[in-house]
Amino acid sequence: MVQLQDVTKSYPNGVVALRGVSLRVEPGEFVFIVGPTGTGKSTLLKLLYRAEVPTRGRVFVGNRDVTRLPAGAVAGLRRSLGVVFQDFKLLPGRTVFENVAFALRVTGAPRDAIRPRVQRALDLVGLADRALHLPAHLSGGEQQRASIARAIVNNPSLLLADEPTGNLDPNSSWEIMQVLSRINLRGTTVIMTTHNKTVVDILRRRVVQLAGGQIVRDQVRGLYALDA
Amino acid sequence: MRLTRSRHHPIGFLRGVVEDAASFAGDAAAGFRRNGLMTVAAVTTVMVALLVVGAAMLLGLNLARVASAVEAQVEVVAFLQEGLDREGAARVRGELAALPGVASVAFVTRDEALRRLQDHLGDAAAFDDLVKTNPLPDSLELQLTDPVLAPTVAQAVSRLSGVSEVTYGGQVVDRVVALSRSVRLVAGLLTAFLAGVALIVVVNTIRLTVIARRQEIEIMHLVGATRWFIRWPFLIEGLLQGAAAAGAAIVVLVLVYALGVARLGASLPFLPLVGVQEALEPLAAAVLLGGAGVGVLGSMIAVRRFLVI
C-alpha cells in the first residue's frame, strides 16, 4: 500500500526531518507512528499525500511513485486517500453535511450521488443527526468525526491521520479511535501519528517509533514505548 | 476537467459542465461582492486605461481616413519661377508632359490659384489685401497615371529649369502617416503604463479573494480538486472585472465621440470624419478584448503567485 525507500527530507532552513527512512505498509494495516514532537512524524505523512517531496529516496502510495508525480496528477493521488488533521480543517460557514459534500462537489462527483454518499459517511462516523449543524455548534470529537467523514466520503483505500486526538479529551479520543478502527475493519489502510500513549497501548497495533528523523522501532502489536 | 465522471453519458457530462459554470460564476460573483471597493478600483483603473486605448484608436481611424482621402486626390504641382514668360511656361509644360507617368498637365495662372484658395477658405475679409498683391505663383498641375509614382515624378520635375518648387499630395499623406505614427507611439506608451497599473490593481483584487477563500482552497487541494477547478472562479472574476470596465469605457467613448463628431462636423465640414456607427464595431472589439485580456491576465498572475499550496 505504502512504501518509503531510504527517504531523507531536509527543509530549506537546514532542518532534517527524516533521515534514510524505509517503511512498508501492507493494505488493510493499522499503523501508529509515535515519537516526540519534531521527529518527522507529520513530515512522513506529508510525503504520502504529496504536501512535501523527499529530498532523497522514493515514496510509493498504491502503485504511484509519488516522488515523480507531475503537479497535475496530485489531485488524482489526493482522491485516492483521505487526510485528517489535529485541527479538523472544517469550513466554519458550512454545515457538517456541506463540509462533507464539499469534498465530492469539488472533485466532480455527479450531483445525485452526493447526498447518499455523504449520508453513508456520516452514518459511519455516527454523525447523521448532526448533519445540519455548523462546526462551531459541535464538540471537538464531533468536529473530528465530521472531518473523518469528509476524508472517507471518496472511499479512499488509505486514511492518513495526523494527531487526530491531539485536541480532544479522553472520551472524544475514544470515539475517534472507534471510528478509525471501524474504517480500518472495512479494509481501509490507516496510518496515524499520535502522542496518545493510552490509545496506542490499549489498541495494540503496529507501532513505528521515530526519533531524530529515523525509525528506531517497528513492532507488530506494539506499545507506545518499549519500557511500558 | 470532469473527465472522471459521466464520460460515457454525454447528457450527464453536459449537465455537469453547466452546473460547474453556474457554480464558478456564483463564486466569481461572490468575489465581486466581497471586495466591493477594491473591485470598483480595479474596474475603474482598467476603464481609464481602455479609454486611452479607445481614444487613440478613434484618432487613428480618423487620421487613416484623412490620409486616404488625401491620397485619392494626389497630384503633383510644379510652381513656376516668378517672371518666367509664356514661352518658358510652355517649354516646361512640354517637358512635363513628356515625363513617364504623367497623364495630363494643366496650366493654372496665379489669378486662378488665388480664386480657388478663396473658394476653399470661404469669404474672409482678409482676402482683399491678397487680391491686390497676389503672392501665388503660376503653376502646372500634373495628373498621374498612378498615385504611387508621385514621389518619383516630383523629383524629376524639381530638376527641370523654370520650376521653383514641387509639391505633391503624398507629402500631406506622409505627414498624416507620420502624425498617426506618433499618436500610436504616445498612445502605446500611455496604454502600456496604464495597463501595467490596471494589471497590478486587478492582481491585488484577485489576491484579496484568494486570501478570503484560502481555507476553502486548502481543503480543495487536500481532497483532490484539480488545479483548474480551483483556478476557474478566479479567472472568471478577472474576466468579469475586465468586461465590466470595457463596457463602461465603450459607453463613455461612444457618447463623447458622437458629441465630438457632431460638433466638428458642424464647424469643419470638409474634414472626412469616421461615423460613430462605423467606428463602433472595431472600437468595441478592441476595447472588449483589451479589458478581458487585462482581467484574465491579472487573475492568472494572482493565481500563479498566490495560489501555490
User: What is the 8-class DSSP label of residue B164?
Assistant: E
Residue B198 pLDDT greater than 60, yes or no: yes
- DSSP tally for chain A: helices H, then strands E: 7, 10
Asked if A83 is an interface residue toward chain B (Cβ–Cβ < 8 A), one would say yes
CB contact under 8 A, B215 and A91: yes
Mean pLDDT of A64-89: 93
E-only strand ranges, chain B: 76-80, 102-108, 139-144, 163-168
User: What is the pLDDT at residue A77?
Assistant: 94
Regarding the domain delimited by A2-14+29-219, which CATH topology (the fold level of the hierarchy) does it fall under? Rossmann fold (3.40.50)
Q: By the CB < 8 Å criterion, does A111 face chain B?
A: yes
Output B151 or A81, whichever has higher pLDDT. A81
* Ranges of each domain in chain A: 2-14+29-219
Q: Cell numbers for A196, please give them.
A: 496518545
Could you tell me which chain B residue has the CA closest to the CA of A152? B223
Do residues A117 and A97 make contact, with C-beta atoms less than 8 angstroms apart? no
Residue in B151, B153, B138, B174 with CA at minimum distance from that of residue B103 = B153
How far is the C-alpha of B190 from the C-alpha of B167, rounded, in Å?
Answer: 35
Residue A161 confidence (pLDDT) = 97
Minimum-distance CB partner of A106 among B16, B215, B220: B220
pLDDT band at residue B127 under the 50/70/90 scheme: low
Q: Where are the alpha helices (DSSP H) in chain A?
A: 41-48, 74-79, 96-105, 111-124, 140-152, 170-185, 197-203
Q: How confident is the model at residue B309 (pLDDT cuts 50, 70, 90)?
A: low
Q: Among A19-23, A31-35, B121-125, B167-171, which stretch is predicted with the lowest mean pLDDT?
A: B121-125
Cβ-based contacts of A91 with chain B (< 8 Å): 215-216, 219
User: Pick the residue with more confidence: B14 or A101?
Assistant: A101
Report the C-alpha gap between B283 and B258 in whole angstroms: 13
Question: Taking 60 as the threshold, does the pLDDT of residue B290 lie above it?
Answer: yes
Query: Model ipTM?
Result: 0.89
Q: Give A33's pLDDT tier (boundaries 50, 70, 90).
A: very high
pLDDT at B305: 86
Check residue B275 and report its DSSP letter.
Answer: P
Segment B21-75, tens digit of pLDDT: 776 677 667 766 767 788 888 899 889 989 988 988 888 888 878 777 776 666 7
More confident residue, B63 or A69: A69
For residues B285-292, average pLDDT: 93
In chain B, what percentage of residues exceed pLDDT 70? Answer: 83
Domains assigned to chain B: 10-70+174-306 (no CATH), 82-161 (3.30.70.3040)
- From edge to edge, which strands make up the β-sheet containing A206-211? A81-85, A158-162, A189-194, A30-34, A206-211, A214-219
Residue A165 near residue A173, CB atoms below 8 Å: yes
Rounded to 5 degrees, what are φ and ψ at B275? -65, 155
Question: pLDDT category, B8, cuts 50, 70, 90?
Answer: very low
Answer yes or no: is pLDDT of B187 > 80. no
Q: Which residues is B102 bridged to in the sheet? A: B144
Record the cell numbers describing residue A18, joined without a space.
527524516
8 Å CB contact between B296 and B55 = no
- Has this prediction a pTM greater than 0.80? no
**Per-residue pLDDT tens over the stretch A160-195:** 999 999 999 999 999 999 999 999 999 999 999 999
- Could you say which of B2, B215, B216 has the minimum Cβ distance to residue A108? B2
Least confident of A31-40, A98-107, B205-214: B205-214
Which residues of chain B make contact with A108, given a CB cutoff of 8 A?
A: 1-2, 4-5, 16, 229
**Alpha-carbon torsion angle A40, A44, A49, A51, nearest 10:** 30
